[in-house]
């Protein structure tokens, strides 16, 4: 029997408020619903998706270090950290497995300050604008990367 591959699905600030935070932008799915969808799809794809959320930049950086040290693939929605956290960018750059950046909304269709991502240049790829489906697409892309 082969071991199940662990994948971290990391979420930044305010994502724990899904379902109540600006549902016209982020949809009606709650954070619990996101966790359920990611873990179920992970099982279908043959890996264990461990979903985490933090409003703390330092904690997110520690999780990225954990992933780098363990060669753990990552799906990350950095939230607002996307646009300015050079510390998070430097932690993501240390990745030793695929890292896919996701966004629920399309940052380029929103306020100008959201157009820049400091994470994108060190990610395997970015998926944005498909609502909660962005996570589904990212997990499927990750499965493809891991099987290649």
The verdict on whether 86 is a catalytic residue reads no
Of 26, 31, 65, 135, the active-site residue reads 26
Is there a binding annotation on residue 108? no
Sequence-separated (6 or more) residues with CB below 8 Å from residue 107: 82, 114, 115, 117, 128
Is there a binding annotation on residue 114? yes
H helix runs in 71-132, sequence order: 86-92
Is there a binding annotation on residue 83? yes
The verdict on whether 26 is a catalytic residue reads yes
Of 103, 108, 115, 135, the active-site residue reads 103
> What is the three-class DSSP state of 37?
helix
Sequence-separated (6 or more) residues with CB below 8 Å from residue 38: 9, 49, 51, 75, 135, 139
Is there a binding annotation on residue 85? no
Is there a binding annotation on residue 90? yes
Active site positions, annotated: 26, 103
Q: Which residues are annotated as a binding site for substrate?
A: 77, 83, 90, 104-105, 114
Q: Which residues are annotated as a binding site?
A: 77, 83, 90, 104-105, 114
């Amino acid at each position: 029997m082969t071991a199940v591959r662990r994948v971290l699905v990391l979420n930044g600030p305010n994502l724990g408020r899904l379902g109540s935070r600006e549902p016209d932008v982020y949809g009606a799915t709650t954070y619990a619903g996101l966790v359920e969808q990611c873990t179920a799809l992970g099982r279908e794809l043959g890996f264990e998706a461990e979903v985490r959320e933090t409003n703390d930049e330092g904690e997110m950086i520690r999780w990225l270090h954990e992933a780098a040290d363990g060669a753990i693939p990552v799906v990350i929605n950095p939230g607002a950290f996307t646009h300015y956290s050079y510390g998070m960018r430097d932690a993501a750059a240390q990745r030793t497995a695929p890292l896919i950046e996701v966004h629920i909304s399309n940052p380029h269709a929103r306020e100008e300050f959201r157009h820049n991502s400091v994470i994108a240049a060190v990610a395997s790829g970015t998926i944005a604008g498909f609502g909660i489906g962005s996570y589904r697409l990212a997990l499927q892309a990750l499965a493809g990367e891991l099987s290649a």
